[in-house]
Amino acid sequence: MSRATNFPKLSRSLSICFLLLITINAQAQRAKSSHQQGLKDAYKKYFPIGVAVALRNLHGDEAQLIKTQFNSITAENAMKMAAIQPKEGVFYWKDADSIISFAVKNGIKVRGHNLCWHEQTPDWIFKGADGKAVTKTVLLQRLKTHITRVVNRYKGKIYAWDVVNEAIDDNPNHFLRDSKWYQICGEDFIAKAFEYAHAADPVAKLYYNDYNTERPEKREQIYRLLKSLKDKGVPVDGVGFQAHWSLQEPDESALRSAIERYSSLGLKIQITELDLSIYPWEISKRMKRPDESDVFTAELENRQVAKYAMVFKVFREYKNVITNVTFWNISDRYSWLNEFPVMGRKNYPLLFDRNLQPKKAYWEVINFKNQ
Ligand code: XIL
């Protein structure tokens, strides 16, 4: 065959190749963009979606998932008082700094957790050189030094802080928890912690953070505390619902009532530590019983799907007061609930499974009609 007769054939083949290339490229682009769409994109018009992280999560497949799905992070442990200032005047910044630089590098916001708590707090802070309890003046001075140093260091990088964590007692007959903070300072330590944080960074939003914020008795105690802080002019911006929830609670009306109650004080709400345990709520530590099953059955999964759908429906409805929703851990590969409160009992509380694949609940959370 001559060159001339071959030409149309060649040109047809070339066009087909070209078309094929365009199609493949378009498909690749689509795959890439749908891969980059995550929770953070679905909730763009609502609130940032966060996750609690440890240093080990910041490389490999977990880091990739964080970047795709979330636009806010919280240090799971690295910013707590015992981690940051294990001895008086000895500050350990390395882990917290690494978390901040990961966030800055990837354009992710950071919530600070936390500045004053009864747990993961070093013993030295409550004791003098003689081993006895320090005075209120000394303890408040130490609290001020700690808060000032930490908040200052991350000024402009942390947009919201959990200033006081879990100060209300679980026993409804008591008001404040009988912690060392309370024993030495009375209730003043709470207002002081907010004042010190505000002085160090007047722009950061300051939160009171607690669990069971939707149980009516505890809700009223927290409301009382927040109202008294507001009445005294203490710089508190909002309340953190830890949201360590379960299939049993909260129900929709308890969740709505809590949001309405706190926001009636003009406060914002952040969901700070969300997970949905497949077991009823417990607080005392114990070992797993041999007869206890920890299998994630289809029935449990369906109930979890429904619960996640309900809570996110309510969150979206209250987008004017809810300013962040943060999950406590990334996936069921690791959750703090595998150790707490029942040692050795597996839990499946998050939206991603052990292989970091989205669970049914993920699709329920992400596929919603605009509201
Ligand atoms: C938990 C961490 O997830 C665990 O790794 C650690 O061993 C204990 O603390 N409420 C809080 C969080 O405010 O700081 C706790 O985090 C979970 C309960």
Residue type, 100: I
Give CA–CA dist 95/87, Å, rounded.
16
Distance between CA atoms of residues 83 and 79, nearest Å? 6
Instruction: Calculate how far, in angstroms, residue 142's C-alpha sits from the geometric centre of ligand 1.
Output: 23
Q: Residue 266 pLDDT more than 70?
A: yes
> Rounded CA gap, 284 and 294, in Å?
18
Q: Please write the tens of the pLDDT for every residue from 58-80.
A: 999 999 999 999 999 999 999 99
The two structure tokens encoding residue 142 = 């130490």
Lowest mean pLDDT among 21-30, 137-146, 272-281, 328-337: 21-30
Structure tokens at 136: 């209120």
Residue with the smallest CA separation from ligand 1 atom 15 is 76
* Domains of the chain (ranges, CATH numbers): 40-366 (3.20.20.80)
* Residue ID of nearest Cα to ligand 1 atom 10: 242
Q: ∠ CA(174), CA(121), CA(124), 5° rounding?
A: 110
- The best mutation among 277, 336, 339, 347 to test binding of ligand 1, ranked by most ligand atoms within 8 Å of the C-beta, falls on 336
Query: Which residue of the set 76, 214, 273, 364 is catalytic?
Result: 273
pLDDT reading at 12 higher than 80 = no
Residue type, 165: N
Q: What span, in angstroms and rounded, lies between the C-alpha atoms of 149 and 363?
A: 42
Question: Cα(282)–Cα(270) distance, rounded to whole angstroms?
Answer: 23
Contact 271, 343 (CB under 8 A): no
Distance of CA 101 to the CA centre of its chain: 18
Which atom of ligand 1 lies nearest, measured to the CA of 162?
13
Distance 242 CA to ligand 1 centre (A): 10
Beta strands at 238-241 and 268-277: parallel, antiparallel or unpaired: parallel
Q: What pLDDT, on a 0 to 100 scale, did the predictor assign at position 369?
A: 84
pLDDT category of residue 247 using cuts at 50, 70 and 90: very high
- Of 250, 246, 242, the closest CA to residue 314 belongs to 250
Task: Average the pLDDT over each of 23-32, 219-228, 257-266 and give the range with the smallest value.
Answer: 23-32
Q: Could you confirm whether 62 is annotated as catalytic?
A: no
Residue 30 has what pLDDT? 43
Q: 3-state SS string over 301-349? A: HHHHHHHHHHHHHHHHHCCCCEEEEEECCCECCECHHHCCCEECCCCCC
SS3 state at 355: coil
The H-or-E segment that residue 254 falls in is helix 252-263
Task: Give the model confidence (pLDDT) of 314-363 as tens digits.
Answer: 999 999 999 999 999 999 999 999 999 999 999 999 999 999 999 999 99
Model pLDDT, residue 261: 98
CA–centroid distance, residue 273 to ligand 1 (Å): 9
Give the separation between CA 86 and CA 285, rounded to whole angstroms.
25
Residue 189: pLDDT over 80: yes
Residue 214: active-site member? no
